[in-house]
Every structure is written in structure tokens, then in C-alpha cells.
A and B are shown apart, each in its own frame.
Chain A
Amino acid sequence: GAVVSQHPSRVICKSGTSVKIECRSLDFQATTMFWYRQFPKQSLMLMATSNEGSKATYEQGVEKDKFLINHASLTLSTLTVTSAHPEDSSFYICSASGVPGAKNIQYFGAGTRLSVL
């Protein structure tokens, strides 16, 4: 149980284009979803927290117009990297919480490797 699916696993795009990453909770309703960014050989950096039906809360220093987050349903959140540039190349990971009796536990997707040319 508590499976989180993230798609795509890898994406290569041209500079200036937008990329959408999906995060789905497959067997539970995710009341909260989180988006992280991970640079090579570094820890995870929280970008934003989203609750179903409300606007995402972004961490300090994260551009909300650059990284659009939508949490339209209890099982789906999307991260759109708008007008991507090479410096946006990174590993993006989502997580979800909301399993009954385990609301403080985050379950992670497998991550998306974004490469911007």
C-alpha cells in the first residue's frame, strides 16, 4: 500500500519550453503533496507544499511563476516548469501524505530527471 507514481521518469526539453510532471497517489487519498528538488550529491530541498483544492505554499526563494503547482484532486498533483532553462535541470521528486493513521508519513515517487538543453 501507499504507492506514489511519478511521471515521466525522465524528460529532455529545449530551453524556453514548459514541462509538466505528474504525481499520483495510487491507493490512498493524498491530502497533502510535496515537491522537492535534488541537486547531484545533495539532499532534498523542499520547493512547495500543496493541499487539495487550495493554492500551493512555496518555500522561500522558489519562484511560484516558474514552478506552477496544481493539486486538483486528492490523488493528483502536477508541477509545471515554465520556460525551462538549463539551470532548471535537476531531479524533481514528489511525495504525498494522508494515509489514515499515518498523516505524518510522506510516501515518495520515483522522481523525474529533467534535462534542459
Chain B
Amino acid sequence: EAQVTQNPRYLITVTGKKLTVTCSQNMNHEYMSWYRQDPGLGLRQIYYSMNVEVTDKGDVPEGYKVSRKEKRNFPLILESPSPNQTSLYFCASRWGVNTEAFFGQGTRLTVV
């Protein structure tokens, strides 16, 4: 089954404790992205990647890191999480700019 898999689905952590949210897709898609969803703000892009080792900042990249060492994986790293990073995070992948994105199930992160 074609899918985007994110883990974990729920995470509560403390300020400053490094964490990684994993994302994997099995559709051989070139493009992958991370979004955060906050009430009233919709989905805002954090980072995106157009291929292995090619990443670029989205609209809200501060406080986040990503890497794309393999085509299928695109982890999101929070080196020093802060409470303002409490949000619902989605990973997405797609073939190209002219195709729809497939989304993971979401990761609800709470930073206390």
C-alpha cells in the first residue's frame, strides 16, 4: 500500500531535549516536505526536499533541521525544542510540482 509513515504519532517532551520525528515514503517520490498545522494558520511549510541531499527552507524553518540521505526518508530534527514548537506536524511526499501530495498521519508534539 502506498503510504507516508510518520513516527511517533504523539510526543510530549521537555524544553531543550533534542528529538527526531521520522518520515518514510514507499512511492519513490522525489519531493518531500514537512508542515506544521496551528489553529487559524493552516499548514505552513517548514522544509522541503526536491531530491537526495537537496533541501530548502520553507516558510517557518527556524528551530528545525532536516536531512535527506535516502530518497525514502526525510526526518525532522528539533535540536532544542521550545514550547512555541508545540504543534501538529505533517510529512508529505509527491512525484513533482504538478502532482498532489500524500500526507502522513501527523505527529502531535507538545513541548513543556
Partners in one complex: no
